[in-house]
Structure formats: C-alpha cells, structure tokens
Structure 1
Amino acid sequence: MKSTIAKKLWGSFGVLIAVLTICGVIVYWQIHGINRVIEQLVEVREPLQEIILEMEINMGNTSRAVMGYVMERDPSHVKWLHDSEKEFEGLVSDFRELAETEEEKRFHREASLFFAEFRKLSHDIVALVNEQHDAQRVFREAAREIDESIGKALERVVNSSPGWTKAKEEVTLNMQICSHEVFAAIERYLFQHTGFHRDEVKSAEQAFREFRKMYRKTGLSDEESHAIRLIDRDYNHAIKVGYDAMAVTDQLYVKLDRFRDDLTRMDTVLNKDIQPLIHADTVRATEDSKRSVSIASTITLTMVISALIIMALVTWIITKGIIASVRRLKEGSEEFGRGALDHKIDVRTKDELSELATAFNQMAEKRKKAEDELKQSSEKIKLFAYSVSHDLKSPAMGIYGLTRLLNKNYGDILGKKGKTHCEQILKASEQIGTLVEEINLYISTKERPLSIEKTEIEEILEVVREEVMGRLIARKIAWSEPEDMPEIKVDKLSIIRVIRNLVDNAIKYGGDDLKEIKIGYRESDETHIISVTDDGVGLKAEDSEEIFELFKRKNTSKGVQGTGLGLAIVKEIVERHGGKVWIEPGAEKGTTFSVSISKHL
C-alpha cells in the first residue's frame, strides 16, 4: 500500500490535536483563575490616576503642538494647541471635584496656576514665531534690495567712470562679498541661534565698513558718491531689520527654554509628588495578580514544554524519511542550477516526492534541449546582426563619398538648394554609420567577457575628462570631481564608456544653460556608486524609465544628433557589473545619473 505524504502528515496532525486538547483544558483552568484576579484589579477604581495620565498625555500634545508650530508654522498646530488647552482646563476642573486630601487640593491649585502661566507662555511663543517670520521676510527683502543696489549702482559707475581702477574694482567686489557674508551670518543665526553666528555677523559687518572706508579713499566722482550714499542707506536699513529679527529670535529661544523648564517641573510634580499618594490600592491588587500569574505561568510553561517534546518526537519520526527525500531533491536542483543538466535525482520512496523527482529529471532533459536550441539561435542572431550592420554601413559610406564628390565637383551647377540636399544626405549617411557602430558596440557589450582588474577611479575620470575638455572649454562648462576616491575592481574600458556616455549625454542635452558637470562618489556595504550631475534643462520623471531602453530618447532631444543607444549601453554594462543605473531629476533643473557597481566582482 502506498504511504503518501498526506497520510503521514494526517497522522502527525492527529497526535498534535490530542496533545493540544489536553494542554488546552489545563490552560483554561489557569486562565480562569487569572481572570478572577484581574477582575479584582479592575474593580480598584482610581479616577484621579486616570486624570493625571490624561494630563501627562495632554502636556505631550501641547508640547508637540507648540514645537510643531515653531518648526513648520502650520496653522493646524495652533488649532491643536487650542484644543489641548481646553482639554487641560477640563482635566483641572475634574481633578478639583475629585480631590479630597490637602495634598490633592494643593496640587489642584498648583495645576491651575501652571495652566494659566503655561497657556500665556504658549501663546507668547506662537506670537513670537509669527513675529520672527515677518521680521525674517522683511530682512530678506531688505537684503535683496541692498544686493540689487550694490550691483546696479556700482555697475553703472564702473561703466561710466573714466577714473575706474583695478584697485577700486577689487575694493568694490570685497564690499559686495562682505555684505553677502553679513546677511548669510544673520540667516544662520535666525535658524541656529548660536553665539558663534552672532560673532560672525559682527566680524563681517566690520569688514564691510573697512572696505567701504577704503572705497571712499580711492577718489570718487559725484556719481560714485551718490551711489555709495544709496548703498549706505540700503545697507543700514538691512542691518537694522536683521538685528530686529535676531532680537525676536533671542526672545523666542528664551520663551522656549522657559517652556521646556515648565514642562519638566510639571512632569516632576505629576510623577514624583502626586502619583504615590493615589494608587496604594492598585499596588496591593497588582501584587496579588503577580503571584497568581506566576503560578499559572509555571504550570502553563511545564505543559507547553511537555507538549513540544511530544510533538517534536512524533514529527521527527514521521518527517525523517521526507527530509531525506527533500535533501536529495535539493542537491539535485543545485546541480541543475550549476548547469549539470545530465544529473539524475534518485528518490526511492513511493510517494509524491518520487513523482516530483521524475518530473525534475524530465524538466532537466527538456531544458537542456531548449538551451542547446537557444544557443544556436543566439549565434544565428548575432551573425545576422553583424551582417545587417555591414550591409548598412557599406552603402552608407558609399553614399557619403559620392555625395561629397557631387558637392565638390558640381556644386556650382547644383545651386543653393542642391547643396542643401547634399548636406542633408551627408548628415543622414553619417548618422547611419554612427548607428551601425553603436549597434555593433551594443552587441559586443552583451557578448564580450569582462576583464576585471583593479583600477583607480581617478584614472577613469582622467581619460573621460581629457576627451571632453575641448567641448567643456568651448561652452564654458565647469568640471568638478571628489578627491581621494578608492580603487575599485571593474572592466576598465567598459566603465570608461559608461562615464563617457553619461558625460556626453549631459553635454548634448543639457542645453545652453548648462554651466557645470559634477562627478560624485559614495559607497554602500555592497556597492560603489558613481554619479554624474549637471545643471542643464533637466529631465521629466516620466522619462526616467524609458530612457534606458533601446532607441528611446527624451522629448527634449529633438534637434540633437544621437542614436538612442548610449544609455542602453550604459545599462547593459552596469548590470553586467552587478549594479544598476537610475535617474534623479533636480528640483528645478538639472539631472543626476547614478550607477552602482558591485564590490564582489
């Protein structure tokens, strides 16, 4: 008779049910006893204890509402604050009605005074946050006006004054730099509120006044004197509103310190002074429940351990044969995973596992046959692709050469329109040749084995930087890269192509506003991560997935020559290095391409 796995498991399940039934009856009586103790504990009613707990929760909500408004200035936090105040006022009133002892009544008086003071302090903080926000807005507007005043007035003087000198230009530039440092230091003080930043403000302001004196000593025309008076007026106004904003910030932080101290004081009163007075009955009931629970836990633990031992023994007897068969199946599947499709799984049991082993063996035979057919098909496709590439490239180059001869020898006869057509044919044939080369490169990228070697990242970046430096200089694009980057294990030529394609992509599609290309590096536990960031026209989020597919180009690439294979090649190379490539669009403009490379190549 065939002994199936189902029958074996049903037998084990029956033993398990019997053991659990016995344990369940015993545990039921223990739980029944615990419930009686818990009922006694619940009957000990302490309304004052509940009110104190609600007060603690309310104080936490009030604190989060106030600090939330300080951090985010969200009106919903003010509403939350008002709701918490009303709730706390109600709790104080409830405590007054239930207070019986002198200590409890004294606490009610302290809580009432605390509530009044705490409420006023919370409202003062909200008002100061609003005042700080308004002062900061006025300060930023004044800083913007002085910046525009310096820029416009001095630019007008520079362009019109025949007595302008290099020394005067340097002093003027230093004035502008110092004004920026003053306002930046004030901004930092408003956000971080440290004495260090206040000293920064004074130091930068002193430097500004020194350069202003030096400027006056350079010899000013009437127009320059008028300009510097305007600058002094706007600067003094900006400094005044800046110090006003700093003063408001000082007041706010004083109130916040007092707010925290009051919370700490009230929490101490609640937990150390009041709590011990009102929960003596709870302590006694709790001790009784602990003893009952301890006894019940001991009995229950003994039953559970006994049940586990019985269940483990029965399970071991029944599953011993199943595990041996499963182990042979696992070993056989691992052999299949390593490519040994000729391996046969031998399971001698007369159950479903034997049938599964037979199915595995049949599947391996079918897969081996399919892999042989796939390999032959892949070789045919590769030969076909190279053949098509060659057949495309040869006519394209022929068209290119004939068109050049036609344009050179018969340009006068063709006329302007004919020359235009010739140029279009030349560009089209060049694009065909480029496309063929990119297709061949993409095929070789998938087929060529990786040559892994230790390489400095600086060496890879140096190769790419030298290749594109001419274009960077011509378009006045800045290049930056981190220092002290580590040595990594990669296929050097492939990773050079990855960085080259990403940098070329940034230059091509960054637009006329592209001013900087920044190379970044970071690492995780498993990967090295290299990024290429530009400040160009950017990329829409919906384009970030499709752009790595074959022949896919983003909408902004119209009019820019390309094949649509560059990023597909990047993706293929990176995936062969055990990593991935992804895009992070900038907040307003620019794009960051990041690639990860496995550390275990």
Structure 2
Amino acid sequence: MKKYNRLLAFSVILYVILAVLAGGIFLKAERTNDKEYKVEINRIRKSLSEEKNLDKLDLREYRYIKKVVYLEPDASEQRYEDFFQEKGRNQIEIMPAYKDGKAHGFLRFEYVSSKDDSMKGFLLMESALGILFISSLGVLLYLKYKLIAPFYRMSELPGELAKGHLKTEIKEEKSRFFGRFIWGISQLQDTLDVTRKRELDLMKQKKQLLLSLSHDIKTPLSTISLYAKALEKDVYHREEEKKHAAHQIGEKTLEIEKYVEEIMKASKDDVLDIPINMGEFYLADLVVKISATYREKCALRMVDFEIGPYENLLLRGDMDRLWEILENLFENAFKYGDGRRIKVEFYEEDYCQLIRVFNTGEPVSDNDFNHIFESFFRGTNSSGKQGNGLGLYICREIMHKMDGEIFAQKEEEGMSFVLVLR
C-alpha cells in the first residue's frame, strides 16, 4: 500500500513538472514568434520600395498582416487625422514609406499578433494536460479504494488459513470485483474446517480401532505362541495332541487374518470417504477448464497438446470430482509419458459420453496393466517417482460413485485412459 501511495505522489509531482516545463517551453516559443509580423512588414516595405504598386500586393501570402494603407505626403489634414487615429479590431503599426531612398508618406499596417493564438494554444494545452492528469488520478484512486485497499485487507486471509486459524472472520467487501474471491475463500474455510473435523474423527476412530484390535489380537497370538513352544519342546507325545495343536495354530492364524482384513478395510473406507454431488454440467465448461489449465503447462514443457472436436452436451455427474480425475490422468501423463504429445478426444457410444486422454510413451507391462486400478499398487515404471499407488484406484471409485466407468488401453505409441459418463 505504501508503494502505491508513493506512485500517487509521484504522479502528482510528475504532472506539476511536466506542466511547468511545457508552459516554459511554450512561452519561450511565443516570445520568439511574437516578432514574426515585423518580418512580414519589412518584406512588404521592401517590395513597395521597389516600385511595386500597393494595389498589386497580395496579402494572402502573409499570415499576420491583414491590411496595408498608404498615406500620401500631400494628403489633407483630415486625411492625416483619420489615418493616425483610426482604430480597428487588429493591432496597428505605422511606419514611413520610402521611394528612391527618400521618405514618401506613411504606411499603416494592420496585423494580428501571434500572442493571441499562442495564449489560446497555451491554455488549451494546459487544460488538456489538466484533464488527462485528473482522469489518470481518478483511475489510480479508483483502483486504490476499489481494488488495492480491499485486496490488501484480504491478503492475510490465506496465511491465516494456512496456519490453521479456521475461525478467522471473513468480512464481506462492498467491491463487486471480489465477490467470487470472497465466496471462494469462505468455501475453502468451510471445507478445511470440515476436513479437520473429519480428520480428528478418523484419528479418534483409528486409535480406538487399534486399541481394540491390539487387545483382540493379543489373545490368539498368545495361544499360537503357547502351542508353538509346546510343539518345539515336544511336550505332546501323541499324534492326536500334535494335530490338535497345529489345528489351533491354524484357527488362531485365520482369526488374526480376519483382524488384518478389518484394518485394511477401515483404511480403504477412509480413503474412499469422498462426497459426490451429482448434478448437471455442459461439456464445453469442462473443455474450457482443461484448455485454460493445461495448454500453457504443456507449452512450458514443450509437449504437443491437442483437444479434439466435441459436441456441447449436457452431462450428469460431479464436475469437480471429474476434474480431479482428469488432473490425476494429466499428472500421470507428465510423470510417466515421454513428453512428446498429449491428446484429449471426445466421442459418443451407446448413449454415453466418452472422454479419452492419450499420452505418448512406453506402455506398462502386461502384468502391471492387470493391476493398475488396484489400491496401493505401483508399476515397475514408477521407480524413483513420487506416488502412493492410490491415484487410479480413487479415480475408478469416483467414476463408480457417479455411475460411470474408467478403463485403460495399451497402444503402440503410449497409453490412453477412457472415462465413461452415462
């Protein structure tokens, strides 16, 4: 804000300096041009002294001289009086006329001074500068109070949310420019608050589950340990007792496996606790978002990016969750593709809208291809790359929740993933 105030002060100072400089230059030029009418008078006197008739004088050739009157030496007294006292709307200069090097009457020159035009031009210039300055200052002040100041007041909100201060009050701004921004920040605050509460609940449930399972697992483990030691020390002599001990070990092992499955199921349920808001959206809105987000990214990475033709159909689903899936597919294309080409195509089949995302690169192996949608699975091509093996698994589960489908295709030049929207 301080820098912006300095910009305002600099604008005022710059205008004052420019106005003074322009005025000085203009007035200096005016003083120079003020004597131009005398140059024209001298030219006329010279031409008349060369026996040029006054009647043949063409005043259209002169800018400042408007009229020339000659007074003969033998003119009457009344004529003399009228000659010297007559006044018009123009300025007058009377000079002696010469003929053959001798004074021979007088010449009266009526002229317009360049001062009048110069002053009008000066005032016009200063007025134009003033209007321009006031307009610029008005725009700068408008930006300050309608954009800069409200944004400055809101600049601390993201930092407060990042620190976990989710109860920070978000004041509504009168400026219409920040309506959607304020709404988005408020939505983000609510989402973070809900996520935090959900995370705390999940942590509590996990601790309770671990405590419960650790207690439940301890009993079968203790039984297995006792039977294993008895068999190791050859406590049982009869074959039936040994078989009974082995059977009990197997039973308790299955019991522990059941508890492990419960833990895995609880972990998957946590991952898949994704709310879906079913609604309707136009395909063009999704395409515009894809283009705006990834066209520039691909250009920066020198990747050939192409979006195929499509019909702007009305689709059913959760556009935000669909966008998450596309983000995952694009990031996988950047991560595992060869960086040559990414193409998005649209086509219809059996009353369904299909979206195909293709990227060039080496396809996955047949073994990996059969497991790419499984949870926590990472292919052989993921070595040295960040990830947790949940991306495509979550994509499939989201598509299923939207009554859709996702499947992969191996191609000669790379891999493609097809989303099916019903």
TM-score (norm 2): 0.36
Q: Which protein has greater RCO, CA pairs closer than 8 Å, 6+ apart?
A: 1
TM-score (structure 1 length as normaliser)? 0.25
From the CA coordinates, give the structure whose radius of gyration is larger. Answer: 2
Q: Which has the higher strand share?
A: 2
